[in-house]
Structure 1
Amino acid sequence: MVLSFNRYEGVKAGKSYLFETRVTTPGGDTYRLNQKMEGTWWNSTLQHGGETPADNSGWQSDRAIHRLSGPQELAFAAKFTGRYDDLHYMLTPPRQVEQPEADEARLKVASYNVWALPVIAASIGERLALLPEYLKGYDALLLQEVFDGRREGFLQALAKEYPYQTRVLDKPGVNIHDGGVVIVSRYPIVREAQLVYPQCTGTDCFADKGVMYAEVIKGGKAWHLFATHTASFDTDEARRLRQIQFGQIRTLAASLKIPASDTVIYGGDFNVNKRKFADDYAGMLANLNADEPGYGGYTEATFDPRINPYAGGPLSGGANVEYLDYLVASREYGAVCHNLNSVWIPRSSDGSLWPASNLSDHFPVKGEISR
């Protein structure tokens, strides 16, 4: 909450009360959030508005979402509460638009836990409908938690740009969820494989967690992508299992007889919080035999309840701020000369989500990899 005021006590009939909150960005742009309350003999009325460096809404008194252009979009709306309305204001940065990478020696890939977990996750259908517009311009996407039954429409929408898709990680038999991991690609996938981890702990056992593999051919050369979602939570057992699972990913790679000169990328929701467990992070890189990437974008976290309410839910991560998602290059295969992991924060003021704005409880990671 930014501002609260009483609309009944002390309000005088015939008097106007003006409120202005100024929000200044690190770049120096100022946004004004305006309210005007007028006292009546029985109550008060309220109008609301906003200003950006480029636009001004004037006074509004409805419950529609109003959007103002500027360096960042300012959107606002009144929301009925049963008595007096609440006012929601939202600043949304311009959508990050990626352009396809033409260089055959470079791969631009994104890893994203999309939080399509039935019963637990919020607004799954609405978010899956919006996400494809925010995932354009990559060579391949490594996706996790693609569990929900509406994923077919989501994957079909992605297929317009990423027509080559692996199956969703799964194993024979009955479980509450399959693995929820899938790789989609702009370029042909000529081979795929999977491994469901043989051990699990806690509620992770309700899903077929494991790793999905795809051999992607770009410009006649192979890139070998492994997408995983490893053990969740920070219990001693989960932390132990994660390190075992990293070794199992390498074992799968070895079984595929990948040429030593080809590039191998491991990515996904590794569930290793490098902010808190430095030894686990070092163990992750050692057990994968992978080089540490460079870090850019929002370097604080990939899971941050301070700026993403979805991450703060009691059935998500609570108050923990965590860096969990990675794209790393193997040292056992063809060398890479550059690997930058950049976290970005996609948000939308779309009415289907309002007043929420985030598209998952995790933030996606872009990997720019050169060989």
Structure 2
Amino acid sequence: MIYNGECLTDSLMSGMPASSYKNIRLLTLNLFLRPPLVKNNQSDHKDARVKYFCQNIIDNYDVICLQEVFSTMNSRRSQIISSAISKGFLYSTHAPAPGFFRPQVIDGGLLILSRFPIVETDFLGFGNGLFPDLMSYKGILHAKLQIGSKNLHIFTLHSQATYPSNSQETLNLYKEARKEQLKTSVAFIKSKTQSNNDSFFIAGDFNIDAFSDEYSSILEAFQELEVIDIIKSVHGKSFSTYGIRLPSGEPEETVLSHRNENTRDVAIDYIFLSKRGDSAVFPECTNVEPFYISNHPFTRISDHYGVQTTISIT
């Protein structure tokens, strides 16, 4: 909630009932929970980070969009959902398994947790991933939330990653894949929102750097949706969310991050808000969140920063 210009962390469980709650704390975070045996360094500390996330972070929000919560050969997604339920997140939806006849072997890793009723949900797979994304059923996940008499649509996605390559042709293929995925996403979002005037968010790991020329591909694709990049809108600039580089040039995080990625210093995680409807963000609560952790073998909850905001629904 917002009160006297401050971001409060009162949970719905200890305050107003969900039916009357109008200020909503939203987080998007790539939680970096890849399948078992996959790791960058000595350990990804997946189980310990899940435990910390459930015990210390979930309670601070009302709607959480997560990426890279892969359920293949592990129960971490189920653990997060169970813990969330105990904290008042009675509703959730996630990306489905790819299915027997699809080329992918793992799910898309998307998960939405909500304190508010999810009255409609859907998923659309991209189907054009390039190695090693070809193995994951990446796509865009939709949840329609009922907040009192209002509806709020949440979309979360995780698009094609860029993998280190000396070939400009390969790098261009990654960009083209993301461009097609944005086009697919826009059609999907329109199918869920064009017949109403409900507010909606698009949140996730776009793998498109806000400091690069490719950022224009997001603006071009989303132009007809009439949305704003809330970080840039509030702060007048973007902030790095992955591969953070210190002023000395050294990587900020080395436990989870790959040595080829830990100084990329890119802004690839976003929340976009539709300009229609009756919703508005609170600038003082809109920022990137590093989730620094002390006294643990890992220094952050993920190799990504989260992006968070508080919105009003009136």
Q: TM-score, normalised by structure 2?
A: 0.77
Call closer, same or farther: CA 1:323–1:339 in 2, change over 3 Å. Answer: farther
- Does 1:347 find its partner at 2:292? yes
**Maintained 8 Å contact 1:144/1:181:** yes
- Does 1:363 find its partner at 2:305? yes
Superposition deviation, residue 180 in structure 1: 0.4
Superposition deviation, residue 330 in structure 1: 2.9
Alignment partners' CA distance in 2, 1:361 and 1:129: 16
Q: Which shifted more, 173-182 or 221-230? A: 173-182
Counterpart residue number, 1:303: 242
Alignment partners' CA distance in 2, 1:295 and 1:202: 36
Call closer, same or farther: CA 1:249–1:158 in 2, change over 3 Å. Answer: same
**Maintained 8 Å contact 1:97/1:136:** no
Which of 199, 208, 218 aligns to 2:137? It is 208
Superposition deviation, residue 299 in structure 1: 5.9
The AA in structure 1 aligned to 2:134 is C
**Maintained 8 Å contact 1:169/1:210:** no
**Maintained 8 Å contact 1:299/1:343:** no
Q: TM-score, normalised by structure 1?
A: 0.66
Call closer, same or farther: CA 1:336–1:255 in 2, change over 3 Å. Answer: same
**Maintained 8 Å contact 1:328/1:339:** no
Q: Where does structure 1 lack aligned partners over 5 or more consecutive residues?
A: 1-95
Counterpart residue number, 1:19: none
Superposition deviation, residue 304 in structure 1: 2.9
Structure (1 or 2) with the larger CA radius of gyration: 1
Percent identity over the alignment is 21
Call closer, same or farther: CA 1:259–1:99 in 2, change over 3 Å. Answer: farther
**Maintained 8 Å contact 1:116/1:146:** yes
Counterpart residue number, 2:159: 230
- Does 1:120 find its partner at 2:39? yes
Call closer, same or farther: CA 1:283–1:339 in 2, change over 3 Å. Answer: farther
Q: Which shifted more, 191-200 or 228-237? A: 228-237
Counterpart residue number, 2:27: 110
**Maintained 8 Å contact 2:291/2:300:** yes
- Does 1:263 find its partner at 2:188? no
Superposition deviation, residue 104 in structure 1: 4.6
Counterpart residue number, 1:155: 81
- Does 1:171 find its partner at 2:98? yes
**Maintained 8 Å contact 2:98/2:106:** no
The AA in structure 2 aligned to 1:112 is L
Alignment partners' CA distance in 2, 1:153 and 1:303: 26
**Maintained 8 Å contact 1:214/1:226:** yes
Superposition deviation, residue 295 in structure 1: 4.7
The AA in structure 2 aligned to 1:232 is A
Alignment partners' CA distance in 2, 1:358 and 1:258: 39
**Maintained 8 Å contact 2:98/2:105:** no
Superposition deviation, residue 310 in structure 1: 4.0
The structure with the largest strand share of the pair is 1
**Maintained 8 Å contact 1:301/1:323:** yes
Secondary structure of the 1:261 match is coil
Which of 216, 219, 225 aligns to 1:285? It is 219
Superposition deviation, residue 172 in structure 1: 1.6
Secondary structure of the 1:362 match is coil
Counterpart residue number, 2:248: none
The AA in structure 2 aligned to 1:338 is V
The structure with the largest helix share of the pair is 2
Deviations 1:181-212 (A, max 9, x none): 01110110010000000211121111000011
Deviations 1:289-324 (A, max 9, x none): 32232356x964111343222464147x24211111
Superposition deviation, residue 130 in structure 1: 0.7
Counterpart residue number, 2:61: 138
The AA in structure 1 aligned to 2:149 is G
Secondary structure of the 1:131 match is helix
Superposition deviation, residue 258 in structure 1: 5.0
Call closer, same or farther: CA 1:310–1:281 in 2, change over 3 Å. Answer: farther
Call closer, same or farther: CA 1:259–1:334 in 2, change over 3 Å. Answer: farther
The AA in structure 1 aligned to 2:98 is K
Call closer, same or farther: CA 1:321–1:106 in 2, change over 3 Å. Answer: same
Superposition deviation, residue 284 in structure 1: 0.6
Alignment partners' CA distance in 1, 2:199 and 2:271: 13
Alignment partners' CA distance in 2, 1:335 and 1:218: 12
Counterpart residue number, 2:167: none
- Does 1:242 find its partner at 2:178? yes
Moved over 6 A (4+): none
Secondary structure of the 2:174 match is helix
**Maintained 8 Å contact 1:189/1:214:** yes
Alignment partners' CA distance in 2, 1:346 and 1:236: 33
Secondary structure of the 2:272 match is strand
Number of residue pairs matched by the alignment? 268
Q: Relative contact order (alpha carbons < 8 A, sep ≥ 6): 1 or 2 greater? A: 2
